[in-house]
Structure 1
Amino acid sequence: MSENVVVIYSGGMDSFTVLHHAIRDGKTPYPLSFNYGQRHKKELDYAARVCQSLGLSHKVVDISAINSLVGGSALTSDIDVPEGHYEEPSMQTTVVPNRNMILLSMAVGYAVSVGVTKVYYGAHSGDHAIYPDCRPEFVERMNDVCAIANYDAVEIVTPYLTKSKTEILTAGLGMGLDYGQTWTCYNGREKACGKCGACEERLEAFRDNNRQDPLAYE
């Protein structure tokens, strides 16, 4: 019998790959997306279309009110999205304070309420330098907490925690995935900008895999 799991699904490349990884691993995913006021909430439309095509029960939760508490990020506030390579110090302006702890806490609560014992999310090694809540030590501590926070323990599962964006794309291409069904750009315009750190990292991953990105760029 298939095991049910919650998957935090943003609509981006990483969570798209994690979602299909769970399916290929014989799991039945409960995709969970969040509108936290991100300027690139266009990603949620991509997530919805994928879930509909897969016949999955997709839950989208509006938590945009948290911006009155955790503002100051280029992703949620009136701050220009920085351009340039993903590892540049300027990319720290894209950090949303405590975002993954908040999202994981809600996802774990959802998991407990529907009788699920695993929550998947797409942290990877390319994020470690910039986002503290994507680092292995964060995942380890969250797992410690989630083991005791409820009557039933919930495990945080990060299949690509030690993998790069290039390696994630390699895995997804190996599964035959269409990355035209994902949105990565931090700007939520009609086409991807191709200049923000997220776009640059995505394009680099496609170059490393000798593939053409199916998304349209400005």
Structure 2
Amino acid sequence: MKDSVIIVSGGMDSITLLYDKKDEIALGISFDYGSNHNAREIPFAKMHCERLGIKHITIPLDFMHQYFKSSLLEGADAIPEGNYDEENMKSTVVPFRNGIMLSIAVGIAESHGLKRVMIANHAGDHTIYPDCRPEFIDAIDTAASAGTYIHVRVDAPYTNITKADIARIGKRLGIDYTETWSCYKGGEKHCGKCGTCRERKEALREAGIEDHTEYEA
């Protein structure tokens, strides 16, 4: 039964979840909040939803770019290079981004009589991003259920698994990860040096997937 909304960015994780739960998803939502890489990843989100016959919408969140502080909103040169779990990667946090997106998605879900909102955060996000952690997901799930007449639930099935585990799911599903975007710099090619590029490389390697991503380095 198609009773769910998915927040789909166009990255590896959300595209995997999209295919993993395609029979349950009625609507895919992307958010354009002015990040360096939104223009690179959202077209993939739209393409995959259309391929699966799932309605897709993109919601602009211009105010985040205007008022929020994050290197993700300041241009490619502001993005730190290094491993995903290093201290300098905290500059890429967009404060309460998932909280804002989930709140909007929950409202849209109730407006369409849909009972769940899916999000593809994973265990590797916990170190850097507070709004990816299990306690946050539990709290916003409780809030969503309490704050809607139809008791919309937040479903984050990848919360306690790694990106490599997600890549293994994608491998089983036959996903072509060249049709996804990870790099926070948002250039013509993946930079190969930022935390998300490094994490992408490691996940594909650990999952035994040949990496055909075009990297600058």
TM bracket, shorter-chain basis: over 0.9
Q: Which residue of 1 aligns with 2:168?
A: 170
Contact map agreement 1:19 1:29 (CA 8 A) in 2: no
Deviation at 1:110, TM superposition (A): 0.5
Among 24, 28, 49, the alignment partner of 1:27 is: 24
Structure 2 equivalent of residue 140 of structure 1: 138
Does the aligned pair in 1 maintain the 2:29–2:56 contact within 8 Å?
A: yes
Q: 2:182 aligns with which of 181, 184, 200?
A: 184
What letter matches 1:160 in structure 2?
Y
Q: Identity over the aligned pairs, expressed in percent?
A: 42
Worse-superposed segment, 51-60 or 166-175? 51-60
Equivalent runs, 1:42-121 vs 2, <5 Å: 42-70=40-68, 72-78=69-75, 80-121=78-119
Counterparts of 1:4 and 1:117, CA distance in 2 = 6
Choose from 191, 196, 200 the match for 2:194: 196
CA distance in 2 between counterparts of 1:144 and 1:9 reads 22
RMSD: 1.1
Q: CA deviation at 1:33?
A: 0.2
Amino acid at match of 1:12: G
Q: TM-score, normalised by structure 2?
A: 0.95
Q: What's the TM-score, normalizing by structure 1?
A: 0.95
- Residue 17 of structure 2: aligned partner: 18
SS at match of 1:190: coil
CA distance in 2, matches of 1:57, 1:138: 28
Unpaired stretches in structure 2, ≥5 consecutive residues: none
More helix by share: 2
Give the deviation of 1:49 after TM superposition: 1.6
Q: How many residues align?
A: 214
Q: In the TM superposition, what whole-angstrom CA distance separates every residue of 1:85-124 from its partner, at most 9, and x where no partner exists?
A: 0000000000001100000000000000000010000110
2:202 partner letter: E
CA distance in 1, matches of 2:207, 2:19: 19
Q: Which amino acid aligns with 1:159?
A: P
Which of 147, 153, 156 is matched with 1:155 structurally?
153
- Secondary structure of 1:147 counterpart: helix
Query: How far 1:15 sits from its partner (Å)?
Result: 0.4
Matched residues in 2 for 1:29 and 1:113: separation? 13
State the Cα deviation string for residues 12-70 of structure 1 (Å, max 9, x = none).
001001111111xx313310000001110110111122122222210001112222332
CA apart distance, 1:133: 0.3
Task: Give the conservation status (yes or no) of the 8 Å contact 1:22–1:29.
Answer: no
- In structure 2, which of residues 24, 36, 51 is the aligned counterpart of residue 39 of structure 1? 36
What SS does structure 2 have at the residue aligned with 1:177? coil
